[in-house]
Amino acid sequence: MQILIGFFVALAMGLTGIGGGSFTVPALVLLVELPASMAVGTAFVYAGLMRLIAAPFYLAARHFHARYLWLLLRGAIPGLLIGTLLLRMLSGSAKNPVVVIVLGLLLAGSSSISFAPKVQYPAFAQRNSKWLPWLALPIGVEAGFSSAGAGALGTVLLLNFSEMTPPQVVGTDLLFGLVLAVIGSAFHWEFGSISGTVLVRLLEGGVPGVVLGCIMARWVPSKKLKFAIATIAIIAGLQLVWTGSRRLLGEHSTAAAAGLNRVGDPPSHQ
C-alpha cells in the first residue's frame, strides 16, 4: 500500500509539478493511520526528495527569476518555522482530531486555488516588491503546518502579480517549493516527526513514479490534469475534515458518558 501511494503521488508530481503534500498527507493519515504531525513530516521529506529528482527535468528548458525567488523565501522560511511549531503545539495528543480537521481544511483550500479566476496585475511585483515576503509568509505557514500549498499558492501569486512568463513561473515556483521542502524537512527531522520506515517505502514507489511522470509530461495535457488532481486533493482534504469531525464527536460522546457514569456511581462508605 505505501509503495503504491508513493508511486502514484510521485507520478502526479512528475506530470504536473504539484500534488505532493495534498495527496501524501491524507493517504498517510487515512490509509496508513499515521498521526497527523508524523504524516506531515514524512510527506515533507518525501515531497522534497521527489522535487529534487524532478527539478532537472523542469528546469532544463525553463528559466527562473532569482530576485523574486529570494524575496519569496525571505517571507516563506519564517512562516515555515511558525507553521511547523503550530503543528507541534497542537499535536500534543498523537491523533488530535482538531489537527486532522485543520489539515483537511488547509489541503482542500489550497487545492481549490487552482479553480480561482485569474486576477492579472503583472506590474505589482515590480512596483511593490517589498510586499512579496509578506505575501509569501502565509504560504510558508501553511506549508509548515500541512506540507502543501507552496506549489499551488506560489504559482497563483507569481502568475497573477508578476511580469514573468509561464515557463519562468514554473521554474521559479519549482525552486521555491524545493527550498521550502528541504528546510521544512530539516525542521520536522529535528522535531522527530518523521516515520523512517514509511518514508523508505514511499521512496521505493516514488523514485520510478516521478521519473516516469517527468518523461511523460511532454505528451500529457498538464492543464486538464492539474484540475483533475486538484479535484481529487479537495475530496481528500474534505475526507480528512469528515474523519477528524467524527473522531472529535466520538471523544465528546465518550467523555460525556464517562461523566454520567461518575455522577451515577453510589457514594462510597468509609
**How do residues 202-255 score in pLDDT, each as one tens digit?**
999 999 988 888 888 777 766 666 677 777 778 877 888 888 788 778 766 766
The answer to whether residue 165 sits within a structural domain is yes
Structural domain that includes position 230? 2-249
Is 77 part of a structural domain of the chain? yes
Residue 255 falls inside a structural domain? no
Distance CA 36, CA 193 (A): 9
- Kindly tell me the burial class for residue 74, based on how many C-beta atoms sit within 10 Å of its own C-beta (0-12, 13-18, 19 or more): middle
Average pLDDT in the 190-212 region?
88
Q: How many CB atoms lie within 10 A of CB 126?
A: 11
Supply the pLDDT for residue 219. 78
Largest CA distance in the chain: 83
181 lies in some domain = yes
Query: DSSP letters of 80-144?
Result: HHHHHHHHHHHTSSTT-HHHHHHHHHHHHHHHHGGGSPP---TTHHHH-GGGHHHHHHHHHHHHH
Question: Is residue 260 domain-resident?
Answer: no
The C-alpha cell 516516469 sits at 212
Query: Does residue 254 fall inside a structural domain?
Result: no
Q: Take residue 179 and report the three cell numbers written for it.
A: 527550498
> With contact defined as beta carbons under 8 Å apart, do 24 and 236 qualify?
no
Higher pLDDT, 184 or 147: 184
Joined together, the cell numbers standing for residue 218 give 511532454
pLDDT at 228: 74
Helix residue ranges, H only, 128-221: 132-146, 150-161, 166-191, 196-216
Average pLDDT, the chain: 79
Domain presence at residue 270 = no
Q: How many CA atoms lie within 13 A of 210 on its CB side?
A: 27
* Total domain count, the chain: 1
Residue 150, C-beta contacts closer than 8 angstroms, at least 6 positions apart: 76, 139, 140, 143, 173, 176, 177, 180, 181
Q: What's the whole-model pTM score?
A: 0.75
- 161-189 pLDDT, tens digit per residue, is 777 777 777 778 778 888 888 888 888 78
Residue 268 domain-assigned (yes or no): no
